[in-house]
Structure 1
Amino acid sequence: MTVSFRAMIDDLRQAGQIEDIEKSVDIRHIAALVDKADKALIFHNVIDYTMPVVSGIATARERIGTAFGCDYGAVYERLDAGLTTPIDPVEVNSGPVREIVQSGDDVDLFDLPVPLFSIHDGGPMITAGVTVGRGTDGAFNAGIYRFLVREKNLTGIDIVTPNDMQRLALDAFRAGKPLPISINLGTHLAVNMAATFRAPLGQNELAIAGGIAGEAIRMTPCETIDVPCIADAEIVLEAEILPTGWTRPEGRFGEFTRLMGGLHWNPQVRIKAISRRRDALYYALHMPWEVILPGAPNREAAVRRAFKTASLDLVDVNITPGGSCYFHAIVSIRKRPGDAKHAIMAALIASDIKHVVVVDEDIDVFNGTDVEWAIATRFQADRDVVTIPDLRAKPLDPSLRITPGITPVTAKIGIDATIPDDLPRERFERIEYAYADTLDLADFTGQAKDDSEPQRAPVDIADLAAQVKDLLADEPVYFAALAERFEDQGFKTLARALGELHRDGVLWQDGQGRLCLAGSEFAAEPPPSI
């Protein structure tokens, strides 16, 4: 897998997942057109701009899988490989992103085709900036943050949420210094995914990206700051977060919650240089789905690692789109006594997940009807709910109660929708249809050909009843098994024979509903209340 935005575009194009828009397009129309499209779009002729705009790469699971060269369901495995076997980035003298460099008065952000997404956004937002900063200890940190374009060389940066970049900025501000950062636009999804993974401070997200891709990310020095940039990016902004504190209003913005966020107060960023490819593509990460869907493997990997640490036998995980691939998880396990509650705790602690449903291995976690059925038939609210108050919250959660000056917290909930250990297993036996594994409806549709009924020899009902009685003397048998055993006599004839046994008071049933002889050791006894 070649770790460049350009190679990823080529892969998507070969898979038929890119559509080129050659007609002139107003930049204000891009967001709505991407939202209506079933492919990623490249706008080659954006009115008043010379640079093409790419958007919608990650608005579908299929395209994310193509970018990683696997099925979407296996993307978490690539991330896990990056976490387990990271590959450190390598430094190169230059790269495609250094083909054109503008600095000083030549810096002009207004030449970049930065769209307006939602109608109530505070202005054009750079949404796909993989931002690399260096701490006072020399360790790198990478994350994706948004930048509100204010002036030709000035933006905001949204680091109001507690994160590692905020910590680095605070350290620099305490020393009265700006924090140098490179803002890398147009990078492979492997880089984007690693940058959004909540790695411990000091763990290099770019090394995780290398592990995901199976090759090192190439880094090259910037010209105006002592922080490297990604050599194969489309565009790089060399910048400094100014030590002005969280003093400028920024936003609103359509968030990953699929809701409009509020006004934030954030620092300012001075752009010192812009470098780019000669034929650079501007990647406008489309909100909210290009954040939602690529985020699921991150949280899935976190849950899987937590379950492995907890020695839980995990079957599958669904980080649901309905929960913005952030707040909700459905997990299936092979359960031992006590495992369901343990699984709830592990999932809720693993990430910012605030609702988790735990089901048995027979439940398809990607089938909402199946999961709802498990809750309806296996769950009791007075014993199968785990609620944990006062945990770390995602500030963008609109349901939080906000008190100015106080960090908000959230309550988390887990639902144990597994079969209770203390209830009879037969209560939860699924319906099965006879011959479902051998019949094909296509064999019975269309015009009939030689569809004569089988010729059966005459059967003595009393004789057949005696045969059934002899069989049931040894063991109880389900009606369907009897029908198969006496298939040659025909279903109707067997039913008549059983009718004779019922009439004579010979036929009964055992506790599982199988046919047996009345008065036998297998015969069910009526409960005392009847």
Structure 2
Amino acid sequence: MNGGIHMVETKYDLRSVIEELKAMPGQYHETDLEIDPEADLSGVYRYIGAGGTVKRPTQEGPAMMFNNVKGFKGSRVLIGALASRQRVGAIMHHDWHTLGQYLNEAVQTPIKPVIVDRKDAPAQEVVHLATDADFDIRKLLAAPTNTPDDAGPYITMGVVRGSSPDNKMHDVTIHRMVLEDADTIGMYIMPGGRHIGAFLKEYESIDKPMPITINIGMDPVIPVAVTFEPPTTPLGYDELDIAGSIRNTPVELVKGVAVNETGIARAEWIIEAEIMPNTSMQEDINTNSGFAMPEFPGYNGTANPAVHVVKIKAVTHRQDNPIVQTTIGPSEEHVSMAGIPTEASIMSLVERAIPGKVKNVYNPPAGGGKLMTIMQIHKDDINDEGIQRQAALLAFSAFKELKTVILVDEDVDIFDMNDVMWTLNTRFQADKDIMVLEGLRNHPLDPSERPEYDPARIRQRGMSSKLVLDGTFPYDMKDQFVRAPFKEMPNWRDYLK
């Protein structure tokens, strides 16, 4: 981050990061074996490195480049760049244990993007106009389908950039986007919390299409930065400022060739398009499968009957074997993109309210990065008893999609689920250490949040009861909860040589 230091001139993009990953044992793999993007690509990576809440068997593994994608000569697909917290730390050049605090600092020290000339924008080396006779996004962009039931090929890691009608506010965010026909994309914008949606409402009020760019294949810190949400990044906060802070150099933008919006100049692909006002279409209109694509809780998402209609005006990309960056919805990659910014948001709010009491926060794969958080609590004396539960309530207020909070003491490794479960077995009594909060808002993709599941408490989809599991020991009994005192051996690695 900047911190008053002169900004470096490093040109970060997906290709520079791939070169870094190649130098790290076990972090990157590529294959020239032909792969079908229709379900096969995700099916293979499911075994190699997806992790997260993907159906077992799966594992955490390397990022993977498919160089030979069936039907797409000269185009490559990268998956899993962020599907490991340790790899995210390496990409950000920071300790993976404290990425939440690191991103929280980045929010406070923004570096705004800059606009560069087209000659300095690799993303615009090749231009395809939607008015070309042979234009077909489905034949141009190697967007995979995650499962045979998907509504179609999906752009899963496309960063959408849009602005308010007066061009005074800008936003970047990620949505699920299905390729519907030659020049049409169906975009699902989840109600509430997405500023692109707020800008679109303004355009719809004046019945004008909203210009956007969809940016694919970029420095992986960008997809992490853009998943911040309110209240950490309020309306008008451009999350590209966070990526600039992480890299200590501004993200470069370039003006569109066909729409009045900017794209990420060092991306692999930029789709220039317009969201049609007050217009919708059936998401699975081509398959009628009833499903969209796998979502972060681990289940197939239900196809939406009314997604926004996006009309493509142009597609630009790099000249040399452009890379489509994709992800599997329930994979560890989603945990990195959604979970780490959420950790930062929780840390920010809690530190302002009860400074020094929460040492670290982790949103584990079990919750897809959104539904669960583990909080490491520090108590100074008996008067801090109960502060841990206050921290849990603050976490819920910082992030409404959070469903479960587990509270642990400082000696518990929050990144080790065995250690977390150990504390729930030895420092927890179910009759006194459980808090249940009923009738709150949560994420509509949780399939248990349906009125038929709990008619008495769930009035409509997206409501939930929320849970706090307090695994901290009572301060006045701390002497009874001291872990077995093994001798510290700083030279233990010598015995492995």
Which category describes the TM-score, using the shorter chain as reference length? 0.7 to 0.9
What residue number does 2:30 align with? 20
Query: Aligned equivalents of 2:490 and 2:249: distance in 1?
Result: 50
Q: TM-score, normalised by structure 1?
A: 0.78
- Gap runs ≥5 in structure 2: 1-9, 49-60, 285-290, 453-457
Root-mean-square deviation (Å): 2.6
CA apart distance, 1:441: 11
What residue number does 1:409 align with? 463
Deviates more, 1:124-133 or 1:58-67: 58-67
> Is the 1:34–1:40 contact (alpha carbons within 8 Å) kept by the matching residues of 2?
no
Q: Higher helix proportion, which one?
A: 1
Residue 181 (structure 2) aligned to one of 135, 141, 151: 151
Residue 83 (structure 1) aligned to one of 94, 107, 120: 107
Residue 325 (structure 1) aligned to one of 347, 369, 372: 369
CA apart distance, 1:206: 1.1
CA apart distance, 1:305: 0.9
Q: Which amino acid aligns with 1:133?
A: G
CA apart distance, 1:84: 0.9
Closer/same/farther in 2, CA of residues 424 and 238 from structure 1, 3 Å limit? closer
CA apart distance, 1:437: 5.2
Residue 122 (structure 2) aligned to one of 96, 100, 125: 96
Deviates more, 1:63-72 or 1:48-57: 63-72
> Is the 1:244–1:268 contact (alpha carbons within 8 Å) kept by the matching residues of 2?
no
Deviates more, 1:381-390 or 1:236-245: 381-390
What residue number does 2:217 align with? 186
Residue 314 (structure 1) aligned to one of 358, 361, 369: 358
Closer/same/farther in 2, CA of residues 268 and 424 from structure 1, 3 Å limit? closer
Deviates more, 1:137-146 or 1:53-62: 53-62
Local SS of the residue matching 2:277 = coil
Closer/same/farther in 2, CA of residues 377 and 153 from structure 1, 3 Å limit? same
> Is the 2:177–2:186 contact (alpha carbons within 8 Å) kept by the matching residues of 1?
yes
Closer/same/farther in 2, CA of residues 209 and 26 from structure 1, 3 Å limit? same
Moved over 6 A (4+): 438-443
CA apart distance, 1:18: 2.1
Query: Aligned equivalents of 2:478 and 2:470: distance in 1?
Result: 17
CA apart distance, 1:60: 2.1
Closer/same/farther in 2, CA of residues 152 and 419 from structure 1, 3 Å limit? same
Q: Which amino acid aligns with 1:189?
A: P
> Is the 1:3–1:190 contact (alpha carbons within 8 Å) kept by the matching residues of 2?
no
After superposition, where does 1:462-473 map in structure 2 within 5 Å? none
Local SS of the residue matching 1:101 = strand
Q: Which amino acid aligns with 1:167?
A: A
Residue 283 (structure 1) aligned to one of 298, 304, 325: 325
Closer/same/farther in 2, CA of residues 437 and 6 from structure 1, 3 Å limit? closer
Query: Aligned equivalents of 2:471 and 2:35: distance in 1?
Result: 50
What residue number does 2:315 align with? 274
Query: Aligned equivalents of 1:437 and 1:134: distance in 2?
Result: 55
Closer/same/farther in 2, CA of residues 231 and 355 from structure 1, 3 Å limit? same
Residue 298 (structure 2) aligned to one of 258, 269, 276: 258
| Percent identity for Structure 1 against Structure 2 | 29
What residue number does 1:343 align with? 391
> Is the 2:151–2:283 contact (alpha carbons within 8 Å) kept by the matching residues of 1?
no
Query: Aligned equivalents of 1:405 and 1:333: distance in 2?
Result: 34
Closer/same/farther in 2, CA of residues 115 and 201 from structure 1, 3 Å limit? same
Query: Aligned equivalents of 1:58 and 1:296: distance in 2?
Result: 12
Query: Aligned equivalents of 1:410 and 1:261: distance in 2?
Result: 18
Closer/same/farther in 2, CA of residues 173 and 42 from structure 1, 3 Å limit? same
Local SS of the residue matching 2:175 = strand
What residue number does 1:117 align with? 146
Deviates more, 1:43-52 or 1:94-103: 43-52
After superposition, where does 1:27-176 map in structure 2 within 5 Å? 27-28=37-38, 29-37=40-48, 38-50=61-73, 51-94=75-118, 95-106=121-132, 107-110=135-138, 111-138=140-167, 139-162=169-192, 163-176=194-207
CA apart distance, 1:406: 5.1
Local SS of the residue matching 1:400 = coil
User: Does 2:477 correspond to 1:428?
Assistant: no
Closer/same/farther in 2, CA of residues 71 and 425 from structure 1, 3 Å limit? closer
> Is the 1:254–1:261 contact (alpha carbons within 8 Å) kept by the matching residues of 2?
yes
Q: Which amino acid aligns with 1:299?
A: T
User: Does 2:425 correspond to 1:394?
Assistant: no
Local SS of the residue matching 1:245 = strand
> Is the 2:98–2:360 contact (alpha carbons within 8 Å) kept by the matching residues of 1?
no
CA apart distance, 1:131: 0.2
After superposition, where does 1:189-204 map in structure 2 within 5 Å? 189-198=220-229, 199-204=233-238
CA apart distance, 1:91: 0.9
User: Does 2:409 correspond to 1:360?
Assistant: yes
Q: Deviations over 1:100-154 (max 9, x none)?
A: 1111323321221111111211111111110001113421011011211111111
> Is the 2:32–2:68 contact (alpha carbons within 8 Å) kept by the matching residues of 1?
yes
Query: Aligned equivalents of 1:104 and 1:345: distance in 2?
Result: 50
Local SS of the residue matching 2:373 = strand
How many residues align? The count is: 441
Query: Aligned equivalents of 1:368 and 1:281: distance in 2?
Result: 35
Closer/same/farther in 2, CA of residues 356 and 181 from structure 1, 3 Å limit? same
Q: Which amino acid aligns with 1:109?
A: I
> Is the 1:180–1:227 contact (alpha carbons within 8 Å) kept by the matching residues of 2?
yes
Deviates more, 1:65-74 or 1:221-230: 65-74
Closer/same/farther in 2, CA of residues 332 and 92 from structure 1, 3 Å limit? same
CA apart distance, 1:432: 4.3
Query: Aligned equivalents of 1:440 and 1:153: distance in 2?
Result: 62
Query: Aligned equivalents of 1:146 and 1:234: distance in 2?
Result: 19
Q: Which amino acid aligns with 1:307?
A: V
After superposition, where does 1:436-447 map in structure 2 within 5 Å? 436=487
Higher relative contact order (CA 8 A, sep 6+): 2
